[in-house]
Amino acid sequence: MPKLTIAIDGPAGSGKSSVARRVAAMLGYLYLDSGAMYRALALKALRRQVALEDESRLEALAKETHIELKPPSAEQEAAGAKNCVFLDAADVTQEIRTSEVAQAASRLATIARVREVLVAEQQRAGAGGGVVMEGRDIGTVVFPKAELKMFLEASPEVRAERRWKEHQEKGERVTLPEVFDEVIERDKRDRERQVSPLVRAKDAVLVDNTAMGIEETARLIVMLAQERAKELAGAAVQTEKRYLSGLEERKGPGAH
Ligand code: CDP
Ligand code: CDP
């Protein structure tokens, strides 16, 4: 079966990371969280006190920064990590998951020159296929030719509640209305920005998982991926048959 590129986009808390991670595990694919790259760069900008409006400095920062995504160990996965994130070789998997970093990430994600640097990295990381990458612009910009594109949705209330529960589990004191406002503000910025806004690609399959679990959503995507892989394998066989019969015709009768 051919190895596909699967793009999963959607707003904050729509289940992209959890579902993408599960789909990748079921198919034996590589899972890549593009949002973690924006978060890691945002963390560096915050630490260095680079203004989030300073486009030139942020572009320079993006170019000199090395961000790496690695599959977690069994232990790290049990602790909730889906991708381990390294910023200039230092593990920042936990540090990038705060609301402050999320907001900063969505601000620097509005800058075209910063996006160009990260998109090029993402394209390199996923170049071999057999990959599930999730984010906001994967099906529209990073991999517009992905063989399967998904757009996940869920109601804003449910998405905020999911995020809030995560904060609760980590012992972070933040109220549900605060998380709701953070998620809504970030979504609005992501949907309304000039460059690569969060939008469903025309050929993306929309799945509203407000009332669906991670496993159920992941299974649906795996089913679609298997169908798509079969279609592609069938098309490849047809092309080969056409090629071979063309060869026979050119050789003419009696030729071997
Ligand atoms: O990556 P994204 O922000 O789209 O969402 P996520 O981090 O995968 O999911 C946010 C939280 O919602 C996680 O704690 C998931 O376990 C949970 N979730 C859920 O309860 N049901 C779903 N169908 C999807 C996610
Ligand atoms: O996990 P959650 O859905 O809350 O956010 P994330 O995927 O970690 O992304 C953090 C921020 O990075 C988003 O709010 C976007 O502004 C930005 N981002 C983006 O612009 N393009 C991507 N492909 C991924 C993330």
pLDDT digits (tens, 9 = 90+) for 126-182: 999 999 999 999 999 999 999 999 999 999 999 999 999 999 998 989 999 999 999
Tokens encoding 86: 């390294």
Structure tokens at 115: 């996006």
* C-beta 12 within 6 A of ligand 2: yes
Q: Whose CA is nearest to atom 4 of ligand 2?
A: 12
Ligand number nearest to the C-alpha of 17: 1
**Residue 137 Cβ contacting ligand 2 at under 6 Å:** yes
72 and 81 in contact (C-beta within 8 Å)? yes
CB 209 within 8 A of CB 150: no
Q: Is 105 in the pocket of ligand 2 (CB under 6 A)?
A: yes
pTM above 0.85, yes or no: yes
Question: 248 C-alpha to center of ligand 2: Å?
Answer: 53
Q: How far is the CA of 114 from the centre of ligand 2 (A)?
A: 13
CB of 35 closer than 6 angstroms to any ligand 2 atom: yes
Nearest CA to ligand 2 atom 10: 35
> What amino acid is encoded at 72 in this protein?
P
Q: What is the C-alpha to C-alpha distance for residues 184 and 179, in angstroms, rounded to an integer?
A: 9
CB neighbour list of residue 163: distance below 8 Å, 6 or more residues apart: 12, 13, 179, 182, 183
Say what percent of the chain tops pLDDT 90: 82
Query: For the chain, where are the alpha helices, taking DSSP H only?
Result: 16-27, 34-47, 55-64, 74-78, 99-108, 112-125, 156-169, 176-192, 214-251
CA-nearest residue, atom 16 of ligand 2: 106
Q: What is the separation, in whole angstroms, between the first and last Cα of the chain? A: 32
Max distance between CA atoms of the chain, in angstroms, equals: 83
Task: Tally the C-alpha atoms within 13 A of residue 191's C-alpha that lie toward its C-beta.
Answer: 10
| Residue 122 binned pLDDT confidence (cut-offs 50, 70, 90) | very high
Residues belonging to the chain: 256
**239 confidence band (pLDDT: 50, 70, 90):** confident
Q: Which of 120-129, 182-191, 207-216, 231-240 is least confident?
A: 231-240
Average pLDDT score, the chain: 94
Residue whose structure tokens are 């049990």: 78
Residues 6+ apart with CB under 8 A from 247: none
Q: How confident is the model at residue 243 (pLDDT cuts 50, 70, 90)?
A: confident
Between CA 149 and CA 205 the distance in angstroms is 6
Whole-number pLDDT of residue 95: 95
The pLDDT, as a whole number, for residue 74 is: 86
pLDDT in tens, 46-72: 999 999 999 999 999 999 999 999 999
Proximal ligand: closest to the CA of 209 = 1
pLDDT band at 237 (very low <50, low <70, confident <90, very high): confident
Q: Which of 88-92, 210-214, 215-219, 239-243 has the lowest mean pLDDT?
A: 239-243
Q: Which residues are paired to 169 by β-bridges?
A: none
Whether 159 lines ligand 2, by a CB cut-off of 6 Å, is no
- Cα–ligand 2 centroid distance for 26 (angstroms): 24
Our mutation pick for probing the ligand 1 site, out of 31, 83, 159, 162, counting the most ligand atoms within 8 A of Cβ, is 162
Q: Closest Cα partner for 39 from 112, 107, 88, 90?
A: 107
Confidence band for 14, pLDDT divided at 50, 70 and 90: very high
